[in-house]
Amino acid sequence: MNPLDLFNQVKELIEKKDLAAAKTFVEENKDQLGEYLNQAQTLISGSEGIGNLVDKVKGLF
């Protein structure tokens, strides 16, 4: 698989809200992701922040 295909796989996992699988996938494929590694890690970090924010808001109601 080329780096762009791997990155798209990470995006699909995040869209499915499977952050644990996305993290594992990035870790297992970090050498093959090449220039997309930082983007994938940033995408996961941003998704975690949004997920935590949504959980906090849900806790208010």
DSSP string, the chain: --HHHHHHHHHHHHHTT-HHHHHHHHHHTHHHHGGGHHHHHHHHHHHHHHHHHHHHHHHH-
Structure-block tokens of residue 57: 């808001």
Nearest CA-CA partner of 17 in 55, 51, 41: 51
Q: Which domain holds residue 46?
A: 3-60
**pLDDT confidence band for 61 (50 / 70 / 90):** low
For 18-44, write each residue's pLDDT tens digit.
989 999 999 999 999 999 999 999 998
User: How many domains, the chain?
Assistant: 1
